[in-house]
Amino acid sequence: MKKLVVVALLALAGVAQAQSTASKKELITKVLQLQQPGIELAAKNLVERPAIQVMQQAGMALQSRVAADKREAVAKDIQADVKKYIDEAVPLVRERAIKLAPSTIGVLLEERFSEEELKQLIAIIESPVNRKFSQMGGELQKSLVDKLVAEMQGTIDPKVKTLELAVNKHLGSPANTVPVSKADKALAK
């Protein structure tokens, strides 16, 4: 009789654990769905990183290797090739990232979060306040960068000029021939 009670209790515990695991998996799926825009953005950024590097290298090469009258046409051709690469690669990488999320992010959530913590996490992610804050991300960053540029331009401008002179000296070029990136120009203003 005692063995039967122990077996019954173990069976009930197993059923409860299976229900808890299924419920936890549903919560993890919900978190992954809520985080899908971030996953897609990470995939897009991953694809764009080498394209940006190629564009930077091409920009430098255009100045030294392509005749001035042909630069604009070559630049447009390069931009078209980069766009084609991005248009083809982003959907592939985005799709794969979404498929990999359960076996990567999902596993970490399973290991490190309890069912109750997952419920709390979902409540935070779905909260109107969090959504409002997330939508302000670009505006918040722009506000900081604008103020930072305004306050630091006097400090950074001489450093940028010193760097340009040093690079030009190494290259044996006349002063002020190394182009400054757009970000450096904004900070140096």
The boundaries of the domain holding residue 67 are 2-135
Is the domain of 122 the same as that of 104?
A: yes
Residues 20 and 72 in one domain: yes
Q: How far is CA 133 from the centre of its chain?
A: 18
Angle, in degrees to the nearest 10, between helices 2-34 and 115-126 = 20
Are residues 144 and 183 both part of a single domain?
Answer: yes
30 and 112 assigned to the same domain:
yes
150 and 122 part of one domain: no
Q: Are residues 94 and 160 in the same domain?
A: no
Domain boundary among 96, 115, 135: 135
pTM over 0.75: no
Domain count, the chain: 2
162 and 151 inside one domain: yes
Same domain for 49 and 18: yes
Mark whether 128 and 185 lie in a shared domain: no
Helix H, strand E, coil C: the string for the chain is: CHHHHHHHHHHHHHHHHHHHHHHHHHHHHHHHHHCHHHHHHHHHHHHHHHHHHHHHHHHHHHHHHCCHHHHHHHHHHHHHHHHHHHHHHHHHHHHHHHHHHHHHHHHHHHHHCCHHHHHHHHHHHHCHHHHHHHHCHHHHHHHHHHHHHHHHHHHHHHHHHHHHHHHHHHHCCCCCCCCCCHHHHHHHC
Same domain for 155 and 130?
no
Per-residue pLDDT of the chain (189 residues; tens, 9 = 90+): 566 555 544 554 454 444 458 899 999 999 999 999 999 999 999 999 999 999 888 888 888 888 889 889 988 999 999 999 999 999 999 999 999 999 999 999 999 999 999 999 999 999 999 989 888 988 988 898 889 888 998 988 898 888 888 877 877 766 544 454 554 454 444
- Is residue 129 located within the same domain as residue 173? no
Q: Do residues 103 and 125 both lie within one domain?
A: yes
CA distances for 22 relative to 86, 94, 126, angstroms: 38, 27, 21
